């Protein structure tokens, strides 16, 4: 098994470790390190992976380094990393940090991968977008897909599309949660008990999403299958159309994309 090192031990790093262990990665092939040592010690104690006390120990025999600390800490990262990552595969999960920035900080890495996971990855139901500056060697590509696959599905895109991907899949869960809350509140307004409204909203979203994934057809076709002429669903959809629901979602995604572009320019 390749040896994977995590610099950072937050929620996403922990999700990757859990996913890799579920895919039969040995705990001894995984290690983590943090500046304070506290979160790394906690992750190591829970999962059995190695807690590296220094960067030298973390990277001594690692094949891959996953950069998993907070994005704002990249500028103050230990200068030793430039040398310690020589000939390593470096994978960044830092939001808004472009490949050009990462290349300057890890100039001797054999390859650098920029990724954008989302929070459903914490239960193995995520989708992670990723990009590279140069094509990966077959073994490195397989290792990247294995790592990111621990969070769910993956999709490779050109870096120019990463801001759009961020606005859809990384920010997207928040939009879904907001819709779930709105559907719950609407159910309460219609006369349901709060607990019943919440149950109906959650299970309806879950079931509809699973049906959409299972059928693998356009969402509009499933929508039309639910909609009878002049029926209850038709009445609700007419109201959504009158309020330009799709326009609102488009503006939401474009606003998130614009902010992602701003953050990328700051990196």
Instruction: Express each pLDDT in 115-171 by its tens digit.
Output: 999 999 999 999 999 999 899 999 999 999 999 999 999 999 999 999 999 999 999
CATH 1.10.3730.10 fits 170-266, yes or no: yes
Instruction: Express each pLDDT in 20-70 by its tens digit.
Output: 998 888 888 999 999 988 999 999 999 999 999 999 999 999 999 999 999
What pTM does this model have?
0.91
Ordered by start, the domain boundaries in the chain are 4-158, 170-266
Which residues touch 199 (CB under 8 Å, ≥6 apart)? none
- Distance CA(93)–CA(95), nearest Å, equals 6
Percent of the chain with pLDDT over 90: 90
> Rg of the Cα trace of the chain?
21
- Distance CA(164)–CA(261), nearest Å, equals 9
**pLDDT reported for residue 267:** 58
- Distance CA(29)–CA(2), nearest Å, equals 7
The DSSP secondary-structure symbol of 136 reads P
> In 3-state terms, what secondary structure has residue 259?
helix
Q: Which CATH architecture has domain 4-158?
A: 3-Layer(aba) Sandwich (3.40)
> In 3-state terms, what secondary structure has residue 160?
helix
């Amino acid at each position: 098994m390749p040896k994977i090192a995590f610099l950072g031990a937050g929620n996403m790093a922990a999700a990757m470790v859990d996913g890799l262990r579920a895919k039969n990665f040995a705990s001894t092939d995984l290690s983590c390190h943090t500046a304070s040592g506290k979160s790394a010690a906690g992750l190591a104690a829970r999962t059995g992976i190695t807690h590296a006390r220094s960067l030298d120990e973390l990277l001594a025999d690692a094949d891959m380094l996953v950069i998993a600390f907070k994005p704002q800490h990249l500028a103050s990262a230990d200068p030793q990393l430039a040398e310690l990552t020589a000939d390593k595969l470096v994978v960044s999960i830092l939001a808004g940090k472009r490949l050009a920035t990462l290349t300057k900080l890890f100039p001797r890495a054999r390859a650098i991968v920029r990724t954008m996971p989302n929070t459903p990855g914490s239960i193995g139901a995520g989708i992670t977008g990723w990009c590279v500056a140069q094509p990966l060697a077959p073994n490195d590509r397989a290792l990247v897909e294995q790592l990111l696959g621990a969070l769910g599905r993956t999709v490779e895109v050109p870096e120019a599309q990463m801001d759009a991907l961020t606005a859809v899949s990384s920010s997207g869960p928040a939009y879904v949660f907001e819709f779930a809350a709105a559907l719950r509140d609407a159910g309460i307004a219609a006369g349901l008990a709060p607990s019943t409204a919440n149950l109906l909203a959650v299970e309806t979203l879950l079931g509809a999403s699973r049906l959409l994934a299972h059928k693998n057809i356009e969402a509009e076709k499933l929508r039309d299958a639910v909609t009878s002429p002049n029926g209850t669903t038709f009445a609700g959809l007419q109201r959504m159309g009158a309020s330009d629901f799709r326009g609102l979602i488009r503006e939401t995604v474009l606003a998130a994309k614009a902010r992602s572009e701003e953050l990328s320019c700051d990196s």
